[in-house]
Amino acid sequence: MSAKGLSIIELEKVYPNKYTGDVRAVDRISMEIQPGEFVTLLGPSGCGKTTTLRMIAGFERPTGGDIRLGGESIRHLTPDRRDTAMVFQTYALFPNLNVYDNIAYGLKIKKLSRQEIRDKVTGILALTGLEGLESRHTNELSGGQQQRVALARALVMEPGVLLFDEPLSNLDAKLRVQMRTEIRKIQRAVGITAVYVTHDQAEAMSMSDRIVILKDGKIAQMGSPKEVYYHPTSEFSANFIGTANTLHGTVESWEAGALTVSVLGHELAGIPCERDFKRGDPCTLIIRPEACSVREGGVFEAKVTLSTFMGSYQLYELDIDGSRFTVHENNPKTKRVYEPGETARLHLDIADIHVI
């Protein structure tokens, strides 16, 4: 397979609408995707994920910008001439064809020899775990198996980039988790470039080399799962990836990469911070639920509003002067567990606080 790099340059899509005003679905986004990279477009419904993907595939015409695959502009090519393949949420299989013929369909259109087709399809059947199901009709398959056929049908074309639009949304929770590992494994094994669209942050985190967080047709942040989780650049990103507690404070001092902030009537010193701040500047502290705990000696007094045993952790919700705070206390078996209505103290791991 020859994985290609994908360049998206100032890509724009405006849907005209006389009545409500034009919809700027994709607002001049740019990104470079490396050959073999797995990039996920993540964002809430309506942020422009599908429109972006459909412009890459050629189903939608951009109103501005360019798309280059393997260094060449594909903007003016019809979908069948683009060296892209798409896996849809609805599978879009041919119901009148069996599994083998569904997968072989594109190769037949390309007029490959019978033997070549047989070799390629056999290889893909093994890769996607569909061996033995060749002669089944698609209505004799489970949802997971249908999704595998859709994936196989795209992979067999050996496209320069493989596109996925929420491919796991129709599967039950357990199968979804299983399939995301599987898709990632197959993508790695064949080394294909992939652009994956989802609104599910867990899917994005577990599958991607890089995540692109979209908001209102613009890129809110782009980075590896760890970067976006530990270093969100906005409250929007912080809340979209995982759970985030947000505290608004005022800078007391900034020195040698350590910040002192006054927040909710307390001073927190030694918060790591690369950025320059001045005394009196407002700042936002992002604290992940696992970077704090409920324990004696904690800085903030809090009211426990929820306490739920989750097995590996105790889930707390706390109220601090009207601000809601979520805490994951690991291995609760070894700790004092607080009940709703109790007063407790919240401790923050200062080194794990992120400032924006």
Ligand X SMILES: Nc1ncnc2c1ncn2[C@@H]1O[C@H](COP(=O)(O)OP(=O)(O)O)[C@@H](O)[C@H]1O
| Interface stretch with Mg ion, choices 48-56, 121-129, 138-146, 232-240 (CB under 5 A) | 48-56
Angle subtended at Cα 232 by Cα 231 and Cα 238, rounded to the nearest 5 degrees: 130
- CB–CB of 27/47 below 8 Å? no
Q: b or e along 226-258 (b: 16 or more beta carbons within 10 Å of the residue's beta carbon)?
A: eebbbbbbeebbbebbbebbebebebbebeeee
Shortest approach of ligand X to residue 213 CB, angstroms? 12
Shortest approach of ligand X to residue 334 CB, angstroms? 43
Say which entry of Mg ion, ligand X, none residue 48 contacts (CB below 5 to 8 A, set by partner kind): ligand X
Which lies closer to ligand X via its Cβ, residue 1 or residue 14?
14
Burial class (CB in 10 A: 0-12, 13-18, 19+), 310: exposed
DSSP 239: H
Say which entry of ligand X, Mg ion, none residue 78 contacts (CB below 5 to 8 A, set by partner kind): none
Q: How many CB atoms lie within 10 A of CB 210?
A: 18
- Which residue number places its CB atom closest to Mg ion? 50
Q: Can residue 208 be called a binding residue for Mg ion (CB under 5 A)? A: no
| Interface stretch with Mg ion, choices 49-57, 135-143, 256-264, 300-308 (CB under 5 A) | 49-57
Which lies closer to ligand X via its Cβ, residue 89 or residue 314?
89
SS3 of the chain: helix, strand, coil, percent, to 5: 30, 35, 35
DSSP 77: S
Residue 320 identity: I
Q: Can residue 84 be called a binding residue for Mg ion (CB under 5 A)? A: no
Q: What are the beta bridge partners of residue 8?
A: 31, 67
Q: Can residue 50 be called a binding residue for Mg ion (CB under 5 A)? A: yes
Which lies closer to ligand X via its Cβ, residue 63 or residue 98?
63
Query: DSSP alpha helices (H): ranges in the chain?
Result: 49-57, 99-109, 114-127, 143-155, 173-190, 201-207, 225-230, 235-240
| Size of the residue set binding Mg ion (CB under 5 A) | 1
Which lies closer to ligand X via its Cβ, residue 89 or residue 307?
89
Residue 299 identity: V
Q: Cα–Cα distance between 259 and 77 in angstroms, integer?
A: 53
Shortest approach of Mg ion to residue 51 CB, angstroms? 8
Say which entry of ligand X, Mg ion, none residue 304 contacts (CB below 5 to 8 A, set by partner kind): none
Say which entry of ligand X, Mg ion, none residue 285 contacts (CB below 5 to 8 A, set by partner kind): none
Which lies closer to ligand X via its Cβ, residue 37 or residue 166?
166
Find all residues with CB under 8 Å of 283, minimum gap 6, and list them: 248, 249, 250, 251, 259, 261, 277, 355, 356
Say which entry of Mg ion, ligand X, none residue 225 contacts (CB below 5 to 8 A, set by partner kind): none
Which lies closer to Mg ion via its Cβ, residue 90 or residue 142?
90
Which lies closer to ligand X via its Cβ, residue 47 or residue 163?
47
Shortest approach of ligand X to residue 266 CB, angstroms? 40
Q: List residues near ligand X by CB under 6 A.
A: 15, 23, 25, 43, 45-51
Binding site for Mg ion (CB under 5 A): 50
